Amino acid sequence: MKAFTVLDAKAAPLMRQDVNTDIIIPIHRLRDVAQAELGPYAFEPWRYLPDGSENPDFFLHQPAYRGAEIVVADSNFACGSSREGAVWAMMGMGVRCVIAPSFGPIFFNNCFQNGVLPIQLPRSEVLAIAGELEAATRPGSNSEPRLAVDLEARTVTTPSGRRITFQVDGIRRESLLKGLNEVELTLAREAEIAAHQTKARAATPWLYPAA
């Protein structure tokens, strides 16, 4: 898993509520397409016109937001059916961070397992961030639609320079910072686990019958 420390990147607002995982990755693509090749099919129902050409109204097809690595979304992002492929598809299109007021809980958990940082902020704050990103794309703006996400400091810096603090579970934060999933993070403490087992075996030998 790729470590996540600081991400200073283009950000794009997707201010729709209840975006579900069927939109993020249609189920038939998970049947037919390998995990590493899901990127082109992310948001397929919105991303392409019936003839297969790009939909110019799709948020990531707008020149100012093309290539964004951060998505700023509205409430209940990635709700609906549980599928890890929703995270894989977004990663395949280059997204490393999603900021929203709330998430589908399974998508939220799957993000941490795959090196994507989901940040939950109050909706008023998310709307303000989206407003700054949109303002940065207007003619005459002296800023770009970029955000700086610092996982070590747990801050998001907006185009205007505002710094917003976010919360993230300690173990999950450590996992992302080190680029380790839960299994790898556990194995990294193998010596501590072995020491504890040795101590426990000496203190309670009846729990460890001889082979």
Tens of pLDDT along 129-141? 999 999 999 999 8
Residue 107 region by backbone torsions, left for phi larger than 0, else alpha for psi between -120 and 50, else beta: alpha
Q: For residue 198, what is the enclosing H or E element?
A: helix 190-203
Residue 182 reports pLDDT greater than 80: no
pTM above 0.75, yes or no: yes
Count the neighbouring beta carbons within 10 Å of the beta carbon of residue 169: 9
What's the rounded Cα separation, in Å, for the pair 38 and 70? 18
pLDDT confidence of 187, banded at 50, 70, 90?
A: confident
Cα 5 off chain centre by? 13
Q: Enumerate helices (H) and strands (E) in the chain, giving the number of each.
A: 9, 7
pLDDT of 188 over the 80 cut: no
In the chain, the amino acid numbered 167 is: Q
DSSP 136-178: HTSTT-SS-SEEEEETTTTEEE-TT--EEE----HHHHHHHHH
Q: So what's the pLDDT on residue 155? A: 98
Condensed to tens digits (0 to 9), the pLDDT of residues 37-53 reads: 999 999 999 999 999 99
Per-residue model confidence as pLDDT tens digits over 96-144 = 999 999 999 999 999 999 999 999 999 999 999 999 999 999 999 888 9
State in Å, rounded, how far the first CA of the chain is from the last one. Answer: 37
Give the per-residue pLDDT at 206.
85
What pLDDT is attached to residue 211?
Answer: 62
